[in-house]
Amino acid sequence: MANDNNYINSAKVYHPSERYKQQSHISSLEEYKRLYKKSIEDPGKFWREIAVKNFYWEREPSEKNFLQYNFDPTKGSIFVEWMKGAKTNICYNAVDRIIEQGQGDKVAYIWEGNTPGEERKITYNELKIEVSKFANVLKSFGIQKGSRVAIYMPVTIELVVAMLGCARIGAIHTVVFAGFSAEALADRMVDARCSVLVTADGYYRGNKLIQLKEISAEALERCYENGNRIKTCIVHRRINLPVIVTGNGSITNSHLPNGQPLIRRQTNGIINGSNGNSTAASIVNGNVNSILTSNGSINLANHCLSNNNNIAMNRNGQTAPVLQPQIPLKAISWNYSIDVWWDKVMSEASSECEPVWVDAEDPLFILYTR
């Protein structure tokens, strides 16, 4: 391995300006060496100073027993304890503390979507409102300190809101990569003993549609079969996919956004109106018997394969060939016994939610690794 000094002597070195050094956390190599030595000789004191200086604590970590551990099995159980007894809240530190510093109007996140030009920004003030509302949504479904919540979402601001909402009330979240299968999602929810799943209807990765809600529905069935019933599934309306009613309860226009197609499953077939108007369909043995859209038109070409043996009738009594569903439809199933829309429950939630102060040793999230 080449000697560092030889490399420095042979390379062109750019020294930082005095202004840049003054703004840096570590202003010089000498300062770095001093801090490094301190961190090795007295790690408890070193990290306590950083923790107290940079974070808010409802109860500050004590100097005594700041860091305790045992890696020797001959001396007892293996353990690591970090700032045990101190109380704080990560959500408060990530959001409220910034606002209290007078930076509430500063942009907290800039999100860019799959499509060029699809962008959204949110300030700390706006983020606190959304996080507090979602925390209250979770509480309304029985989530409290120590409860487990699975998050299976694309990378959006709503994903951040869900994570921080859990942290605000001391709930433990586990983020599952939104490319994993239903089996992988179910395994994690069963293992973590989750009671709520937060997901989205779907999202696009490039040109490929990922139907998260349909994957989630299969995962929920697997959870039930393994003795872990998910009580609530909160669905963010990411790309506004149409809905198929599969569970109990009736569906009305009040449950749908403007222009959202209404789809019903009758016996063993499904049909979708793609013109943005409510559609009633009767399907027997996979064949369409009749279709009536709210504006009297028939438009199903984007969703099914052609079959001229099926006839649709509009409100004017006119008939036309329709299309039999022989390929998977771009739609999501809906079970009113557990499924709720993100936007609906958020619109009903209070924007005030006090943080729950948790012990520094309380778990924040569960991360599954290979």
Q: What's the confidence (pLDDT) of residue 18? A: 87
CATH of domain 90-239+337-357: 3.40.50.12780
**Angstrom distance (rounded) from CA 148 to CA 189:** 9
Q: Is the pLDDT of residue 329 over 80?
A: no
**Angstrom distance (rounded) from CA 148 to CA 158:** 18
Confidence of residue 21 (pLDDT cuts 50, 70, 90): confident
Q: Whose structure tokens read 């045992």?
A: 70
Q: Is the pLDDT of residue 9 over 80?
A: no
Instruction: Using alpha carbons, select from 351, 358, 360, 341 the residue that is nearest to residue 168.
Output: 358
Beta-carbon contacts of 126 under 8 Å, excluding residues fewer than 6 positions away, are 108
Residues 189, 231: contact at Cβ < 8 Å? Answer: no
- Prediction pTM value: 0.75
Q: Give residue-wise pLDDT tens across range 107-143.
A: 999 999 998 889 999 999 999 999 999 999 999 999 9
Q: What's the confidence (pLDDT) of residue 64? A: 84
Confidence of residue 148 (pLDDT cuts 50, 70, 90): very high
Mean pLDDT of 282-303: 34
Q: Give residue-wise pLDDT tens across range 303-316.
A: 332 333 333 333 34
Q: What's the confidence (pLDDT) of residue 6? A: 58
Q: What's the confidence (pLDDT) of residue 240? A: 87
Q: Give residue-wise pLDDT tens across range 230-248.
A: 999 999 999 988 887 765 4
**Angstrom distance (rounded) from CA 276 to CA 320:** 19
Q: What is the DSSP letter of 254?
A: G
Mean pLDDT of 290-309: 33
Q: What's the confidence (pLDDT) of residue 51? A: 94
Q: Are β-strands 339-341 and 79-82 bridged in parallel, bridged antiparallel, or unpaired? A: unpaired
Percent of the chain with pLDDT over 90: 60
Q: Give residue-wise pLDDT tens across range 36-59.
A: 999 999 988 999 999 999 999 999
Residues 247, 211: contact at Cβ < 8 Å? Answer: no
**Angstrom distance (rounded) from CA 124 to CA 164:** 12
Confidence of residue 7 (pLDDT cuts 50, 70, 90): low
Within the chain, all domains assigned CATH 3.40.50.12780 are found at 90-239+337-357
Q: What's the confidence (pLDDT) of residue 4? A: 56
